[in-house]
Chains A and B, each alone.
Chain A
Amino acid sequence: MTTDTLENTEHHDEHHDQPTGIKRWLFTTNHKDIGTLYLWFSFIMLLIGGALAMVIRAELFQPGLQIVEPDFFNQLTTTHGLIMVFGAIMPAFTGFANWMIPMMIGAPDMALPRMNNWSFWILPFAFGILLSSFFMESGAPNFGWTFYAPLSTTYSNGSTAFFVFAVHIMGISSIMGAINVIVTIMNMRAPGMTYMKMPLFVWTFFITAYLLIAVMPVLAGVVTMLLTDTYFGTSFFDAAGGGDPVMFQHIFWFFGHPEVYIMILPAFGIVSTIIPAFARKKLFGYSSMVYATASIALLSFIVWAHHMFTTGMPLFGELFFMYCTMLIAVPTGVKVFNWVATMWKGSLSFEIPMLFSIAFVILFTIGGFSGLMLALTPVDFQYHDTYFVVAHFHYVLVTGSLFSIFAGTYYWLPKWTGHMYNQSLAHWHFWCSVISVNLLFFPMHFLGLAGMPRRIPDYALQFADFNKWVSIGGFAFGLSQLIFLAVVIKCIKGGEKAADKPWDGAQGLEWTVASPAPYHTFSTPPAIKDE
């Protein structure tokens, strides 16, 4: 699609006064500012969550308890999971949504800018509450990020209330963000941009937003039941009062499974934007990509109990959830095939965003393969709750979601800052990350198959060699992210001036505005022409 660009790039919003300093960020209703806030927040959370992970890996470097007590170890694994899921990955994608969706659909801003401000600014409080529990008598939550009852209720260390309120605030933030995305996409597309002309990036965020609205209230419900079980004498999850601890898992995973697609569908959108740009060829099978995304989203609601095969489900239940889970391989496979077909007979070049996208496709697919293996109930009895599962979801969430976030950042950073970043430093970041991340997560498959359970602070001697390598990979991967920080800061401070469209194969309205993108874009909607 092409567009008229003439009046779009002008800066004609003199009637807005722009506060400076801290007030600019506190009171901002601008989608670009809020996107920036989200992205920085998620990066800070990535570093905090990563620091926790490095303490975990330091403890697991060799057998024995060297650094932390088992109870504190559980606090580390729990908060690491919560921070990475709710603090790093999800807000990063919301940051992308804020920055890019209005610019991609030719809208001047998000539809609900004040709510947008609020949905960001409650987040630091949520994580403030969560992290502050480390400094209290109870300690931080120690029941795993999946907070299974009754470990998180009757047997909790007293952190349950902090945990519940923090999750409530995160949930409110996510729901508001999702409403904003949906309203923006439904109402503010430039004239002529029909649904099936929207960039795939916009589609994936659109579908993700529906998933968020559908399942975040379920999470809110389950944490509230947890709260009343712990402090108000209810027995939702206590057999002694007529409840059922397994019901907790059903409700949790009814949220939890769509949640994992909330964290991967936007990644599909980012990669589907970048691969065509550097293959200089249109995305193969655009409409099948849209349908595949929608299918994955729908299927995500009927597979939750594959996390619970060992809880004592009836045979029929196990078969149903096994078949449905296997079915997800089909639309996911379609996506991978389409990416490969997009690259096929293209004119490929390998700038940093493309390198991360290619790594994404390969490593995410490895995570998909282990996912398919986990889907098979009889074998899942062996894999379940071992390091094989840890390897699986880290391949999907780190080399999947996180790598797509890196890819997207390197792709749009010139548009955001107006500067090109330091290529060789960025290459260092890519190669250090891609090597260390595999040293970190690939041996975990072997550990799991050999029988190492997850969430243990110490292990039998036959697991010692691999754990050492995993820890080394972990430290290297963690430190590699400081290179990323350096690239981004250098790029913000200066660097070679970026062209409006620095990537010759890039498509989309965001490249029709100046670099850096003016504070207000598309105050007049662009005209969308058919090709």
Chain B
Amino acid sequence: MKRRNRIGLLLVSLFSSAAWSDSQLNLTKGVTAISNEVYDLHMLVLYICTAIGIVVFGAMFWSIIFHRKSKGAKPADFHESTKIEILWTAIPVVILIAMAVPATSTLIAMEDNSDSDITILVTGSQWKWHYKYFDQDIEYYSVLSTPREQYENHNGEPAERSEHYLLEVDKPLVIPVNKKVRFLLTSDDVIHSWWVPAFAVKQDANPGFINEAWAIVDEPGVYRGQCAELCGKDHGFMPVVVEVKSEADYQQWLNDQKQLIADAANAEAASLSSSMSKEDLMQLGESTYLAHCAACHQPTGLGIPPAFPALKGSPIATTGSIEEHINIVFNGKAGTGMQGYGKQLSLKEIAAVVTFERNAWGNDTGDLVQSADVKAVSGE
């Protein structure tokens, strides 16, 4: 209700600057020195524009009120003045210089990527982010964790939504506080843009090229942003979440991650020598499919042709060879939106998802795929 009143007020006073000072309406100050400078610059320009607006629109409304024909105003005769033209060319130039000076110094500071403490490679792909810590052997994907049923409510039933709806991920990027963290950005497919408003960092992730950005964050906390460059169907569903930890917590997190990676490697090795039952494969396959495949191929397996083909009844998932099926899932298909999942999923998960695809939606091939089969195709 409070917000509504505020909007009503805004409509009446479109040009008043008072409404802008409310932080909910305004740009974030953020949590880095740079983001504070950017905020100050934003406010400076906003105030200058508001002042110019008051003068120009003031003069205009003065005319509108007092120089009316209905009030008997007689038109004056003047229609040119070189002096005035020069004056109102020169004054804006001076104002612009006053804006350009702080903008230039902030920009130079922003573009200084040198002397970083930590470097993280950020790779965008449709529609998730991948983070790789240099010198740490840690890398993982970060995927939207809002459940599909919260946003897919075509049936009109209002969904119960989580607090950070569409701005939450399974594994956030973790960085330490007060360290210069350099981000190297690239993409596996189309152009994405990695944006964290609180850091004033927005940088495109271009396929085949690497961009740089950096941040020194002052306060621990969780900061949320989104992909900012249209990158296809689920552009709106690839948030960026960064968790900033104290130095000690960060070290602890690094150790935990290394332990997790070691455990995963052991589990992977173990899965090679064991085989799973069809029931287990189908169960794991379905959950993996829904998490990683359903965005394009749809929960129904019908896809969104022609960009995202159907799997139901598809030769690849029925009559075709199992090896080729695994190959496509593992390595992706060049020239299409199908990315390789070899790096994203465990052997067991790939085995399960291939089994699932070959047996779900009436594709009843009866084929079972085990981790060892995937290993054989991947050739590693």
Contacts and interface: CB of A to CB of B under 8 A. Distances in A.
A330 B110 contact: no
A361 B232 contact: no
A245 B26 contact: no
B161 A461 contact: yes
B104 A319 contact: yes
A336 B56 contact: yes
A476 interface: no
Contacts of A462: 24
A157 B46 CA distance: 41
A380 to B, nearest CB: 9
Interface stretch (A143-151, A259-267, A493-501, A520-528): A143-151
A506 to B, nearest CB: 14
B265 interface: no
Contacts of B234: 70
B209 A312 contact: yes
Interface string A42-71: 000000000000000000000111110111
Interface in A251-299: 279-288
A372 B92 CA distance: 12
B189 interface: yes
Contacts of B231: 151
B189 to A, nearest CB: 6
A87 to B, nearest CB: 21
Contacts of A376: 41, 45, 99, 103
A239 B191 CA distance: 12
Contact of A151 (B63, B111, B191): B191
A27 interface: no
A29 B337 CA distance: 49
Contacts of A322: 100, 103-104, 107
A315 B89 CA distance: 28
Interface in A345-371: 345-350, 358, 361-362, 365-366, 369
Given A344-B59, A381-B38, A372 B49 contact: yes
A151 B232 contact: yes
A155 B152 CA distance: 24
A6 interface: no
A382 B202 contact: yes
A453 interface: yes
B14 interface: yes
B279 interface: no
Given A345-B63, A377-B107, A458-B151, A63 B337 contact: no
A450 interface: yes
A221 interface: no
Interface in B174-211: 185, 189-191, 193, 195, 197, 200-204, 206-209, 211
B67 interface: yes
A469 B7 contact: yes
B60 A312 contact: no
B74 A347 contact: yes
A239 B190 CA distance: 11
A192 interface: no
Contact of B230 (A65, A288, A455): A455
A246 B75 contact: no
**Residue among B164, B190, B212, B306 with most chain A CB within 10 A:** B190
Given A369-B53, A460-B165, A64 B41 contact: no
A326 B163 CA distance: 40
B92 to A, nearest CB: 5
Contacts of B153: 64-66
Interface string B228-248: 111111111100000000000
Contacts of A112: none
Contact of A66 (B93, B156, B305): B156
B9 to A, nearest CB: 12
A74 B230 contact: yes
A348 B68 CA distance: 4
Interface stretch (B79-87, B134-142, B312-320, B344-352): B79-87
B75 A281 contact: yes
Interface stretch (A7-15, A31-39, A198-206, A436-444): A436-444
B85 A65 contact: no
Nearest to B79: A282
Interface string B215-233: 0000000000111111111
B85 A280 contact: no
B88 A333 contact: yes
Given A378-B41, A379-B45, A330 B92 contact: yes
Contacts of A423: none
A461 B80 CA distance: 53
B46 to A, nearest CB: 7
A389 to B, nearest CB: 10
Contacts of B75: 279-281, 345-347
A336 B337 CA distance: 48
Nearest to B105: A378
A407 to B, nearest CB: 16
A373 interface: yes
B154 A150 contact: no
Contact of A158 (B37, B74, B225, B306): B306
Contacts of A154: 189, 335-336
B335 to A, nearest CB: 6
B165 to A, nearest CB: 5
Contacts of B237: 70, 458
B106 interface: yes
A349 B237 CA distance: 52
A421 to B, nearest CB: 21
B96 A327 contact: yes
B45 A340 contact: no
A326 B99 contact: yes
A75 to B, nearest CB: 10
A312 B211 contact: yes
A439 B14 CA distance: 10
Contacts of B96: 326-327, 329-330
A450 B24 contact: yes
A327 B100 CA distance: 11
B227 A465 contact: no
B16 to A, nearest CB: 12
Nearest to B24: A450
B60 A443 contact: no
B40 to A, nearest CB: 10
Interface string B99-137: 110011011101100000000000000100000000000
Interface in A425-465: 435, 438-439, 442-443, 446, 449-451, 453-462, 465
A458 B236 contact: yes
A377 B306 contact: no
A310 B193 contact: yes
A460 B229 contact: no
7 contacts: A312-B212, A315-B108, A333-B88, A438-B11, A450-B24, A451-B226, A458-B151
Given A137-B306, A286-B79, A442-B11, 9 more contacts: A150-B190, A151-B190, A246-B206, A284-B78, A366-B14, A385-B193, A439-B11, A459-B236, A465-B7
Interface of A: 63-67, 69-71, 74, 137-138, 142-144, 148, 150-151, 154-158, 238-240, 244-246, 279-288, 310-312, 315, 318-319, 322-323, 326-327, 329-330, 333-334, 336-337, 340-350, 358, 361-362, 365-366, 369, 372-373, 376-379, 381-382, 384-386, 435, 438-439, 442-443, 446, 449-451, 453-462, 465-466, 469
Considering the complex of A and B, which 5 residue pairs feature the smallest CB-CB distances, nearest first? A239-B208, A456-B236, A312-B211, A282-B79, A345-B76
